[in-house]
Each structure stands twice: as C-alpha cells, then as structure tokens.
Structure 1
Amino acid sequence: MTAADLQQYIGVIDRMKSLLNSADFDQVFALLTSELPKSKQFLLKMELKRMAQPCNYFIDLRGHVDGDVSPYEFMGKTHYMDKNAIKVFERGLKQYGSYTIGLYEEVLNTENNFRVMHRKEAAQRVKTALQQSSTRKADTDTDTLPEQYAKIIHFGSYTARQDERMNFAIEVEIEYQGRRFDASTSDLSVSGCKVKLTKPVQINPGESIKLFFTGLEQEFMLGLADGVMYKLIENHSKAANHYLRLQRLVSADGDDKQFADFLQRFITGNKRRYKVNLDSVCQTVQTKGYEQFYVPRISALPVFIAVKDGQPIPKFAFTTEYSRSVWHYFLDEQHQAVFDSLLNVRRLKQLLQQTSEVKSTIIYSFTHAAKGKLFFYSATTEELAESEQLKQLFLGFGASKSSWRVFHCNLLRTSAAMAEMPDTIPEQNQSKPAGAHSALVQQLIKDLRYIVNLTDITSTDNTFWYQSYKVDPQQLKQLANFGHKKRADTPPCEAVAAQYVNLRSESRYLYKTAVQIVQPEGDAEINGHSRDFSSKGLQLETTLPVQFEKGDVLLISLPDMQKISSRFELNALPYEIMAISKSRSIMNLRAVEGEQPHNGRLFFQQLIQNNRAKLTPAEESPKYQGLAPALRNMYLNAQNNFALFLHRKGIRYEIDTVAQSTDCHSLQNLLSLSSKNAAQMDLAPILRNNAASLHFAQQLKQMKRFDSARAYELFIALPATIETAPTELLCRYDYEFDTEQLKQQFVLDALQNGSLFCFKLMLSRTGRPDTDYIAAEMNYISTYAIHKAKALEEELWSVAGVIDIVDISTEVPWRYGAKVDPIKQKQIQLDQIALQLKQPVT
C-alpha cells in the first residue's frame, strides 16, 4: 500500500501503472517528476518497481469483506473474491498488464474490506481519544513514559546449596581486626550464615572474620569461647540494614566438627519451627522453568566446534523445531553439513580478534546446483567490506537467487566444565544425587571450545533491497572467491535434537512412501514422499520446491498404500498445510475433516493399530544418551541472548519478565540507559503505544504452538551526543512504517544524525511447562511451603509466548544502501553505549 508521504503523488503513480514494463517508462517518468527532488524521484521509482513485481499469492476474501464471495479462476488458480474485488482485479490487470504486488494490495484494500473498515474506525477512535485527553494532560509532562520495570531471569545461573538454610535470628558478635560488632543472624546453615548489622562495616569479600554465637551459648554448652572462623562472600545493604553472607572455614585439625554436628542436629530438629530458607531453590525453579520455555524456541542454530591440533572442527549442531531449517539449509547433496568451510579458520580468527565482548558478524549465503551437486557461496561483512565492487556483485547477484539467506553469526567460548548442572537442592534431600555425565559423553565434549550461533534473519523485505545492487555480468567469475571447496575428507557434524516435553496430541511414526499432489487440470502432478505420519496428519517432502502457502488445502494420493488397501480410497485426500519449510520442499499436513470420515485418517489409524510394534516412533531415542542435556547446559552457560516473556493474566497479556545472560546484550544496555533506576530494567521505551497488547498479544492469540515464529524489527535511534541521563530512546517498529521507503528514510536519517541500533524480534507461542524437569525442586519447596510452590506453578503456567531478540545493527545499513562501513558503525555504537553508561543517573 502506497505510503502516506507519497499519496500526494498518487496521480503520477496511477499514470505510470500502465507503463511499468514499457520501454517508455524512464522517459515518461522523467517528464512527470522533473520538478520533484531527487529523493522523491527515487522513492517513487522504488515504489513503482515494488508494485510491478509479479505476484503468486492466492486471494481469499472469505470472511474478510462485507459482500458475497465466489470462486474466480485466473491462470490455473482459484481465488475467492466478491464483486467489488473482481472489478478492481480486472481493472488492475489492464493497468498493470499482469498480476502484480500492486494489484494484490489494491484488491485487499477495497472499501468493503473489514480490515480497512476497522483501521479507519480505530484511527477515528484514537483521534477522538487524543482530543479528549489533550485537555486532561495539559499540565503534565506528556513526553514521560510510565516506568514498566521487569523481573530479570539469568539463564544458566543456579545457586548450588550443599545443605539446608534455616531462617533463624540469634544474637552474635563479629570480631574483625581486633574490634567487635553486635549483629544477629538472618539465616543459618552448617556451612555458612547471613548476619544483619544496623551499621555498615568495611570488610572486603574474601577476608576472614571471627563469629561468636552469644545467643546460642546462653542456651547450649558449645565450648566456643574462641569463636568460629568465617570468610566473607558478599555484603549488601537493604533499607537501613546491612548484610554479610559468610562461609564457615573448616579447620585443618577438625576441631570444629563437633560444632558442625551440633548445627546439623539443631537445624534438623527446628526447621519445621523456624522455616527452611527456600529463596535459592525458588530462584532455580524460575530459571530452569523459563529455560525450558526458551530452549525449544531459540531461533539460532548453535554449532559446537572442537579444537584439535590447532584446527577447528564442527562436531555438533543443537537443533530445535525453529532452527532445524538452518541445519537443512547447510546440508550438501550428500546430506553432509558444510560448517567446516562456512566457519573456517580465517573467519573464526576475525571474530576472536573483535574488541567487543560480543563477537558477531553477518554471513550472506546462496547455493548453486549443477551436475547433481550443490555448491555453497558465502561471505561475511568483513570480507565484503574489503571491496565495494565485490560487495555489490555478491549482494546483488546472491539476492536474485531463491537460495539467498542472511545469517547473524555469534561466537561464544565454551568448555566441557560448562556441561555440568550443579546440585540445586540440598544434597541430603535429593532422591538421587546429580552425577557427572557418562564417560562417553565426556569423551565427546572434552575438545569443544566454541559455539557459533547461526540465526536466519532473511526476509522478503530485506531481499528486495539487496536485489537493487547493480550486478555486472562480466564480473561474475569473481564470485568463485567466495565458493566453498568440495572436500573428500569433510569432518562429520551431527545434529543433536533438544530434549523437552512432547506436546503432540498423538505419536508420529517414521515411514517413507510415495505421495502425489493432485494438481488442477493441465498441470503435472507433484511427486514426493512422506517422512513421518500419524492418524491425523503427515509430513511430506517434495522433489522440487512448491509455491503453496500455509493454510492451502492439497489433494494428495498414496499410490503405494492403495496397493495394500482395498477398504479405503486413498486418492484425492484433502490435507491442509500447517507449516512449510523455508526450502519450500517440506510440509506438515493435517487431515481436513468433512461431513464424511476422512479416509486417510481411518487408514492410518488401522495401520498404526495393526503394526505398532513394527513402526519406528519419530521421537527416537538419542544416539548418545545424555549428550543433548550436556550441550544444552554448555549453551545456556555461554550464550549472550536476550528474551522477553509474555504472561497471560486473565484476558490480558503482559510483558513483565526478561531473560538475559551474564554478558550484557546491546538492547539490555540501551534499556539501562533510559531507566531512572540503574538496578532495574525499564521496558517502557520498547512497549510504547501498547505494543504488548495491540501487536504482540493480538498476534499471539492467532498462533498455535507449532506455528513458525512471527518476526518484527525494532529500530532505536540515538543522537550523536548525550548530555543528560537517563537517555530518551527513539524507538520504532517496522509495522509503524507504511512503506519500506519510509523505513529506509528513518534508517538513513538515524545513521547520519547519530547512532542506530536494530533488532529482530521473533515471537513464538509456548506450550505447557515441562514439569518433569523441575519436579525435584518443586517437591522440595512443597514440603516446606506449599503456597510458594503453587505461586511458582501459576507463574510458569501463565507463560504464553516468548520473544527471542537478535541484534542486526550491522546488517541494516547495507540493506538500505547506506554509505557506511558496518564494522566501524558497530564500533561507534559500542563506544556510544559505553559513554552513555558512564553518565550518572539522576
């Protein structure tokens, strides 16, 4: 739909529609726009080119317009339009000369379209509300957003406790450097305690102090006249009180064993009376619970790299439902992953040499099939920045290929030690202690040193912009410099699937059988084969990419199955597409039930019932038992991701919880800049205009758990210099721009006038929590505080969606043709953040 800023030139656009593919286009366009600025001429030409792109979308206005909808045949496809839309469509065919994007948008924006009508009504309501509220807000600061502070979950952070802590207050005295201070305990365990003071004491963490249990000595004969030695672990203040967290030092001669035995008996005998401190276990439940929501929905494909004899060797790829398509993309004709050439020594060294904490780059890639082989071509931002000519050649030519992909690449350090999960409940209360990984798993992970996250950030919109780069056909041979060489000794890299709760309504079974998709008359049948099936659906892989979309209904036949079944007619069975891979060759299908029972469902039900023992479940046992949890732990302990969680509270959805790693994410830093409280994270800047309820929540309501993630883009502009803190962030989402051209103008202006940060937000729906994963901790909490267990359970069951966030700040400038070096721009951004974080918060 043409942007508002171009509406004044709608006459020029209408005049040029019929000349879009004409040889006179440039001449007529120059005459009609001769008095316009060059920038407006550029935007108009880009808009016309976009509108002239061929379109293959089905038009289905059933339930979307105020009118009677009927089938309409065009070019072998059946569209569903009302009389008003048909008039617009046929008139547009004469204007455009063919079915184009511009014509598609005109049909979808007729006056009787419910979406158009709703948009106009909503705009009027907003206008009215603004007029009514302007008087009420005249005396207030309208530029100030109300704070929306979030609860922060730290991924991979677990508090390990060797023994139970009891909430117990008793008088003690602290002796430090010959001076004594009165204090009292806040909690107590065999190995340590927390003491409370009314006045601060200058003691550095790691220093030793002596503790006298004066209160206990009045009731028990402990023989502690010389006190007990403790080490300071941490000190902090809360309100008017000051707290010291202490660890008991075990004496070499064992003189303190009697005191330790006393504490153990005392805590065991009194924990029902004084309550066990459950803070650490509750924190662990929250961390593990949110991790189990997040891990199955990470958009990145973590590739684990071992180092042997100084050479990096990709060993494993940790796959989920959302990243499996990335794994399939990098498989060659022999189904071997090409990560050894994609993540070669040179590229890894470039990442490691980056001065920033986050080591990342952008990888551009496409493939070429010839003589039964699949050839990969890829280039990083750093490699393309070396030559403007090669940059334009690679981006322009690559984006014209259907296999074009853009990946965000993030390098993390790891080690086998990160695979261990610490004990999260006191040791004596575990039904079975958490042991180390098996010898086989330890052998498999011992050489792993790096993790490379590959996140697919490709979209139709950014591909369109890359296609605008000029390509000189005479220079195409130079692309050979970016080709992956074929190797006979390619080291194998195995896919390891993440293990999490299975939310499918029924079991699936692996089975390969021929499948034919029945096409309209005149079109050849599309052949393929099943990958797995259940009674209600199947997964189909076609020999060639298809043009179908999610929601389309296919008629499929099972010729081989028909040979073994005379009871059921297995031809022209209706199945709906529930999901389709980015390669457009793998589809998840669900049986479409009508008035009569679905023959396919009945056939597969009988097949499963009679052959259950012979069929192989799709959820097979892992090849290496325990490897997936080990890789999961390594990933969570190394990752530097940032995620938002949506909670359903009644009929409303709220974003009030964020998850982060120990390393600061760039968006986390930006939100810290705008916060008035440095100890908290204010989400108000990115949730302006009710983004959570009006966009994310509305999208979430329409999604199923198995739907692909819905992508958004967030742009944050900062001025060149910051004079005060907190800093106001200029935030815009992609849906706030009417056209790509307006988005481009915002990006170019932000880069010219200051710094620009860009993020891709991927929203997905969650399922139920994996209660088995946190069962031990929940049972422990329930033993002492059932109300806390219920509160934690309610919190986890209310999680409805997760938003995974990826920094794409280095990709956006080249996408929109900015004349900047993304690498230098990135460093400017990092310096800008560092400068602002030093600003005092007032």
Structure 2
Amino acid sequence: MIIKEYSSLIDQLKPLVMEEHFQELFEQLTAGESSSDRFLIKMELNRLATRCTRNIDLRDKTELPWEEVLVDQQKHFLDVPAKAILLESMSLYQQHYTLGVYEEVINSHKRRRESLRLAASAKTKQVLDSPFFMPLKILGSYFNRNEERMHYSLKVDIHYQNQNYAVNSTDISVSGIRLKLPKNHALSLQAKVKLFLVELINDGVADEIKQGVEYQVVQIESTANADFVSFKRLDAMPALSELLEQLLQTYKGRYKIDVSDVLNTATGLGLERQYLPHFPHLAVFTTKKEQQWHLSYLLLSQENQSILNDFVDQNDINQLPAMLTHARIDRLLKAPQDIRQQLFICFSHNANGKLFFYSATLWELEQQQLLNLFLGFGARKTSFRIYRVNPYAIDHQIPYKASVLPLESSDYSPEVTEQLTQLQHCLIVQDLTNEQARRLYQARLDAENANALKVFAQVKINAHQIQQVAMEFSERRMEARFAFKTLVHIRQGDINAKAISQDISGRGMQLNLDDVLEFNTDEPLLLSFPKLQPLAGKVMLVEMPYKLVRSRRNNQSLHLVAIMGHEPHMGVAFLKKLIEANKEKLQKLTENNAEAKELAEALKNLMMRSLPGVLWFVEKTINNAKLSCLAATTTKHLLTNIFDNFPQGIDLSAMLGDGVLKRDFLDPVRTMNPDYEMDFFEVFISKPATGSLTCLQPRIIGDINAQLNYIVKAQQQGQFYALRIYRSAAHKPDMAYIRREIEYMRPHAPQKVKELEDMLWQVIGLGEILDISSEVLLRYPALPSKQN
C-alpha cells in the first residue's frame, strides 16, 4: 500500500500539517514524488488532522492504574503510558485532539500490550522448560460421572449475562457436556447458562431445544490457551434425553468413550496411595451431641501412631479427648484461622508410675500470662510437643466415595452412610515439634512457680472414647493390634536395652526405648518378657528372635516382627494365647484387613479433601531422577502465596536452585528406606514487597542471632514464611488400589493406561511441604507477637 511506503515522510510532515505555510513546505518535501502519490499523501495528512469525537476508554483494557483525562470537553480514561502518548501526539497537531492523536494512542497501547504478552510468553516458556517448574495435581476432590461420555464435536452457542460465545464441544453425555472456551470468558463455578445445540437445532430433531437448554458449570480446567468447562443439564426434557441417548448409541462404535475424568481420578488415587502410608498427621472426626463437641473417630496410618502414643496413659487409655475439649474445639471452630486457637503445647509428667498430662492453647497461655513458664518447663520434658490443629467442615453434599465409575452407585452401605452423616468436622493434628529448637524453649523458663501450671492439667479419662480406624493398606500386619504395655529386655550382640511395649499382635509389636540406640537391621533382636514369664509357666519367654522392621523418633520407637523358623516361636504362641484370653479387656487398635474397610475408606476420603500441606513426588529417569509434580487438595494453597504461579503449575526455582534440588530432595530419597518414617528439614523464606524472595535453611543462615535478624528483616521488608520439607523413599505402587479405574479405561484408552502405570512405577520418592511459620515465630521470644 502506498501510504505505508511513505510512512516516514508522513511522520515528518505531521508537525507541519496545521502550519500556515504547510502547502509550500509540502511541495518542497514531496517534489520528487508523482502527482498521484502526492495526492494520496496529502489526503492521509488531512485525515489525520481531522478533529476526532471518539472517546478513549482503557479501563478494562489495561493492567495499570487509570485516570480521567479531559480534552476539549471530552472525557478519556487512560493509564500513564497512554496519557503520555496523548499529550505528545497532541503537540504535533497544535494541541488539538485529532484522528491522528486517537490512532496513535490506540496503536501505542496495542503495541505495549503485545510487547508485554510476548515477554510474559517468553518468561512462561522459560519457566516451563525449567527443572524447577512443578505441575500441580489435585487430590481428594475428583469429578465423577454416572454416565459414559463420548468424544464428539458439536457446535454450541452459549448465552450468559448478555454475552454470547460460539464454541465446540469436546465430549458429551446425556446429562452433561464439556466445551472449549477462550480464556477471556466470564463463566464461573455454579454459573447457570443457556446452551443452544446449534447442529441439533438445525437438523430440527427436537423442537423443545430451540429455546435453549439450561446447564450449570460444575468444573473449569485451565490450560495456557483455553479453558475446558464441564456442564450438567438442569432441565428435564425427555425428548432431548432420548435424542442424546440415540446419538451416543449410534456413534459409540465410531467415536471413543472419553475417559479423561477417570484418568484424572486414577492418577490422583495412585499418588495418594503412595503418600498415605507416610501420612504423618492424625485425622480426628467430630460429632455434636447435646450441644457438646465429641471426638468420634481417628484415622491411623503407619506414621501417625507416634502422635497417638503421646496421649496413651499407663492404663492404655487415650487421653486425646481431654486435650481437644468441647470449649477448645468450639473456640477453634469460631475462629478457624486464628493461630492462637490452632497451636497446642503439651507435655506429660510421670509421678510414681502414673502419667499426668498437661496441655494449653497459645491463646490460653497468653490469657493467663504463663507462656514463658509453660514453654520453658515443658521443653525440659522428653514428652514436650507442639501441635497445630486445622479444622475442616465436612460437606455432606459431596459424595462420600472419591471414585465413582459410570453406572456405579455413589453410596456406601446404609450402616456406614449413617455413621458418616453424624460427622461434622475433620481435625488434622500436626506435630510441629523440632528437637533442635527445644533449647530455645528451655531458655524461656523464668523464676515463676511451676505449680501455676496446674490449671492446665488435663482431666483424667478412665474409658476409651474414640474409635480408632486404620487405613486398610497402612496395616502391614495380618492380625489386629491391641494396646498393651509390658517390660521388654532387648539384646543384640553387646547391646542390652530395656523397653516398654506400646501395642502387640500375634506376630509383632511396637516398643518404646528409654535411650537412643543404634541396632543393626540385618541382625535379629533377642527379646525377653520378664513381667510375663510368671504367666507362661514352663514356656520360656527368653531371647526370642525378632526382626526390626522400622524405627521412629530418633530410633526410640521400634516396630518388630517375629522371625519364624522350623521350630515354634515361643513369643508368637504366648502372645496369641494372651490376646485370645483377654480380647474383651484389651483395646483393639486396628481391625484385621477384612474388617471396617468401608468406614476406613470413607474417612480417608473425607480427610483427603483438605490436606494441610502440599505433596511432592520424585520420578527416576534414565540417568538420574527428577522432581515430577506437586499435589494438593485445592488449587489455592500455601505455595501459591509465596511463589510465582502459572496455569500449568508453580515455579520453585527460588527454593530449589543452587544445588538444593539434588542435595536435599533427589539424593536423600534415593538412599532412604521406604519402611522408615519421613525425616524433614526446614526452610526460612523472605518475601519482600519488591524484589526477589530468598529461601535459606536455618543452618546456612547461621546461629540463633543470625536467624533472628533474618526473620526481623524479612518482616520489615515484606513477609516471612517457614516451611518444613518432609521426605521419604516411596514403596512400590499398589496397582490394586486403582484396579477398577484401570479395568474401565483399558478397552478405551490402553495407551493412557500404560502411561499411568509407567508413571506410578517411576515414583521413587515423595514428601510434604508444611507451613510451620507460627511455630518458628514462637521459638524466638525477642520477636514481637504476631500470632493472630
């Protein structure tokens, strides 16, 4: 086009177009051009100099703050760059608002936005290609359908709030449809819309659908370039249902059944199965009777029983309900985000063979002005613990079953459903205790009388109040376990030790040692039961071989299983008789694998709706290993407040760079034993209001004073966070856990099934990222109180 060829000349002539001698200057500057070209150039200059009546409104088109700008009684809404261009352009036309000014403002705004888009796209690509970028998987909340869906492209018009979208479906069922929408759509979850199924309307197959069909948004999946929105039908038009049923049956052999939802569910279930045996927290479920809160169930895994043991007295009675009293639960539920109600500080005192338990919330200690005394005195006890309790309301509108395949029932048995409907909240009890911080708490002990702490003594509970339910896969023993305490002598080579049993089964037991000792896991431990010997008669309960399966709490908690040989094992024979003779008296900690399966699964599903932390998984590669993904129960979690977020995941380069990924994540999990409990390290994070955030481990920051200075500076410049990074090796995948989903998908998507199986077999490590900022701030008394 000729005008574009002369753009530089036109730009040169713009400042002269309104001058008195413009014609003379124009003739001089265009003397070498043809008459036709000179005519077109002059017409363009006159057009640009024409007064303009169009208003410029960038309020919904800019990411920057805007202001109202008044020019010749015309209102414009401009951001700072656009205002600068407006003023600069008007100077070319003797301060008049012309069409040339309008176009320059609009075009410069478009160029600036395009430049930002390209820069953001380049940054996104760079981040996505980084080994520190982690995609996010959603656990616990899976989208289930009771009908089969088929991949089918259908033209659809969406009418919503005076806006129309012409889109195509990706798949369809009788009661729902999934559409691909541009990113700038205005739909949200639960929004009700009217869909016009254009092709079906044009075919005239059902007159009822010409007025549109009512649908509701039930799920939105975001990608970089589009959103995939799932809808469910709200109408009850039999003609449309019959039509869609015929459509699906007609094309069933030609189009593939869509299994994307089942695949997402199976992926989530496979990852949660890897994590749950290592679940370190205690899930407790509440009911309300006669206006009083009660604890009804607690859910056991392999690694949370140490929390349970902290509350078992000398009579094997669980004292946890005496800590989580009605008053404390009530205050917590009224202020669920108040860290002062969430934090519990506890210890127990042994006097003449009797255990006395003490507990207080941070709020109670502040009210009584006994915080320093309680922390300083309690930290001198080996039983000192700091717990955080997060409450989550149970939504009974969501099906209790996590995975429901098409044509399956979404309900459990009436008996289990009745029990579940009584539950109101799930309390997640997290042990935030760090032994390395104990001396910081001990230093807070003042000269006050410790008798003042009697007000926090727990009321003694003399009977079991909570039903304990074990996750089906978490119990490796083939028999039920029972709470039972007795003295045990241990010998291995030159090592002799005394321990107290915590629980027993016919073939195994859990012991607690008084001292920290290192046993060789390749050699048997020889156990003797001196207190039980009088009950055994002629059977000698002396130096019976047991294998160390795993240890916890710095090797002070041992899990043992009997080593069976050709001769009868005296310990196994005696313990089986002891359990059989006292079944009515002993508290059963777990059922055997066939019992309480439905209830355990349902409670697990409720717990998985709201995990307090973010999980991470490590996959092995051909040459090494990589951090493969994060997993959480919601798209908004603690990491989204700290790190850069993208629709595809989170950029963790600030935390994983400088060799941290290999040194502290990949290498450790490759050498760990999956039967041992997770260990952890801590990370302190400074997120300034402007600038880059820093992530450092306390040992790298330096001594106590250096850590304190780091925290104070972080709070002054922005925000301070502290994270606990749990880590462990992963067990081999349990494919039976997702067998139903795999069998459903295999005929329709065998390649996807193989990819899922390969992915789960590649997982060699996992962990959890937990926010411990509140506990870390409690360690340093010099810090101003910010626990609210």
Structure 1 and Structure 2 fold alike (TM over 0.5): yes
Q: 1:404 to 1:615 in 2, by over 3 A?
A: closer
Question: Which whole-Å CA distance do the structure 1 matches of 2:315 and 2:534 have between them?
Answer: 31
Question: Which whole-Å CA distance do the structure 2 matches of 1:572 and 1:550 have between them?
Answer: 16
Q: 1:574 to 1:743 in 2, by over 3 A?
A: farther
Match of 2:424 in 1: 449
Deviation string, structure 1 residues 217-255 (Cα, Å, up to 9, x no partner):
65x96667846524252788978878765444434xxxx
Larger radius of gyration: 2
1:714 equivalent to 2:683? Answer yes
In structure 1, which of residues 172, 197, 209 is the aligned counterpart of residue 194 of structure 2?
209
Question: Which whole-Å CA distance do the structure 2 matches of 1:191 and 1:801 have between them?
Answer: 40
Match of 1:295 in 2: 276
In structure 2, which of residues 330, 335, 354 is the aligned counterpart of residue 354 of structure 1?
335
Question: Which whole-Å CA distance do the structure 1 matches of 2:404 and 2:278 have between them?
Answer: 24
Secondary structure at 2:626 match in 1: strand
Paired residue type of 2:345: Y
Question: Which whole-Å CA distance do the structure 1 matches of 2:566 and 2:533 have between them?
Answer: 13
Question: Which whole-Å CA distance do the structure 1 matches of 2:163 and 2:574 have between them?
Answer: 82
Match of 2:103 in 1: none
Q: 1:564 to 1:300 in 2, by over 3 A?
A: closer
Question: Which whole-Å CA distance do the structure 1 matches of 2:132 and 2:182 have between them?
Answer: 32
1:499 equivalent to 2:484? Answer no
Match of 2:631 in 1: 659
Q: 1:613 to 1:270 in 2, by over 3 A?
A: farther
Paired residue type of 2:619: H
Match of 1:772 in 2: 736
Q: How does 1:121-140 map to 2 (within 5 A)?
A: none
In structure 2, which of residues 574, 597, 600 is the aligned counterpart of residue 628 of structure 1?
600
Question: Which whole-Å CA distance do the structure 2 matches of 1:507 and 1:286 have between them?
Answer: 30
Match of 1:257 in 2: 238
Match of 1:43 in 2: none
Which shifted more, 160-169 or 474-483?
160-169
1:815 equivalent to 2:788? Answer no
Q: How does 1:436-515 map to 2 (within 5 A)?
A: 436-472=411-447, 475-487=449-461, 492-500=465-473, 515=488
Superposition deviation, residue 400 in structure 1: 0.8
Q: How does 1:493-572 map to 2 (within 5 A)?
A: 493-500=466-473, 515-518=488-491, 526=498, 532=504, 538-539=508-509, 541=511, 545-549=514-518, 551=520, 554-557=525-528
Superposition deviation, residue 728 in structure 1: 2.1
Q: Percent identity?
A: 23
Superposition deviation, residue 710 in structure 1: 0.8
Secondary structure at 1:403 match in 2: coil
1:798 equivalent to 2:769? Answer no
Gaps of 5+ in 1: 1-140, 428-432, 592-597, 825-842
Secondary structure at 1:151 match in 2: strand
Deviation string, structure 1 residues 194-220 (Cα, Å, up to 9, x no partner):
4567998877874443524436865x9
Question: Which whole-Å CA distance do the structure 1 matches of 2:560 and 2:186 have between them?
Answer: 67
Paired residue type of 1:803: G
Match of 2:381 in 1: 401
Secondary structure at 1:351 match in 2: helix
Q: 1:211 to 1:449 in 2, by over 3 A?
A: same
Contact 1:359–1:412 at 8 Å: present in 2 too? no
Which shifted more, 373-382 or 178-187?
178-187
1:699 equivalent to 2:679? Answer no
Q: 1:258 to 1:171 in 2, by over 3 A?
A: same
Question: Which whole-Å CA distance do the structure 2 matches of 1:606 and 1:713 have between them?
Answer: 45
Question: Which whole-Å CA distance do the structure 2 matches of 1:192 and 1:408 have between them?
Answer: 42
Question: Which whole-Å CA distance do the structure 2 matches of 1:374 and 1:197 have between them?
Answer: 63
Secondary structure at 2:737 match in 1: helix
Superposition deviation, residue 411 in structure 1: 1.9
Q: 1:173 to 1:342 in 2, by over 3 A?
A: closer
Q: 1:446 to 1:333 in 2, by over 3 A?
A: farther
In structure 2, which of residues 243, 246, 265 is the aligned counterpart of residue 284 of structure 1?
265
Superposition deviation, residue 783 in structure 1: 1.0
Contact 1:413–1:638 at 8 Å: present in 2 too? no
Superposition deviation, residue 423 in structure 1: 5.5
Secondary structure at 2:142 match in 1: coil
Q: 1:295 to 1:417 in 2, by over 3 A?
A: farther
Which shifted more, 338-347 or 556-565?
556-565
In structure 1, which of residues 688, 694, 713 is the aligned counterpart of residue 657 of structure 2?
688
Match of 1:425 in 2: 405
Superposition deviation, residue 516 in structure 1: 3.1
Secondary structure at 2:773 match in 1: coil
Match of 1:159 in 2: 143
Question: Which whole-Å CA distance do the structure 1 matches of 2:361 and 2:181 have between them?
Answer: 56
Question: Which whole-Å CA distance do the structure 1 matches of 2:631 and 2:266 have between them?
Answer: 14
Question: Which whole-Å CA distance do the structure 2 matches of 1:805 and 1:520 have between them?
Answer: 40
Paired residue type of 1:306: T
Contact 1:419–1:633 at 8 Å: present in 2 too? no
Contact 2:683–2:695 at 8 Å: present in 1 too? yes
Q: 1:341 to 1:793 in 2, by over 3 A?
A: same
Question: Which whole-Å CA distance do the structure 2 matches of 1:668 and 1:179 have between them?
Answer: 31
Question: Which whole-Å CA distance do the structure 1 matches of 2:725 and 2:225 have between them?
Answer: 41
Secondary structure at 1:811 match in 2: helix
Deviation string, structure 1 residues 623-646 (Cα, Å, up to 9, x no partner):
645221121121122444322222
Paired residue type of 1:150: M
Paired residue type of 1:439: P
Secondary structure at 2:738 match in 1: helix
Secondary structure at 2:416 match in 1: helix
Paired residue type of 1:648: K
TM-score by length of 2: 0.71
Question: Which whole-Å CA distance do the structure 2 matches of 1:657 and 1:198 have between them?
Answer: 26
Paired residue type of 1:214: E
TM-score by length of 1: 0.67
Question: Which whole-Å CA distance do the structure 2 matches of 1:575 and 1:612 have between them?
Answer: 16
Which shifted more, 577-586 or 182-191?
577-586
Contact 1:646–1:801 at 8 Å: present in 2 too? yes
Contact 1:358–1:410 at 8 Å: present in 2 too? no
Superposition deviation, residue 497 in structure 1: 0.9
Superposition deviation, residue 579 in structure 1: 3.4
Question: Which whole-Å CA distance do the structure 1 matches of 2:574 and 2:775 have between them?
Answer: 54
Contact 2:287–2:293 at 8 Å: present in 1 too? yes
Secondary structure at 2:669 match in 1: helix
Contact 1:393–1:476 at 8 Å: present in 2 too? yes
Superposition deviation, residue 562 in structure 1: 13
Contact 1:301–1:326 at 8 Å: present in 2 too? yes
Superposition deviation, residue 509 in structure 1: 8.7
Superposition deviation, residue 480 in structure 1: 0.6
Superposition RMSD in Å: 4.3
Match of 1:192 in 2: 176
Match of 1:392 in 2: 372
Q: 1:584 to 1:484 in 2, by over 3 A?
A: farther
Superposition deviation, residue 425 in structure 1: 2.5
Question: Which whole-Å CA distance do the structure 1 matches of 2:226 and 2:551 have between them?
Answer: 58
Question: Which whole-Å CA distance do the structure 2 matches of 1:557 and 1:698 have between them?
Answer: 39
Deviation string, structure 1 residues 804-842 (Cα, Å, up to 9, x no partner):
222211111231333321414xxxxxxxxxxxxxxxxxx
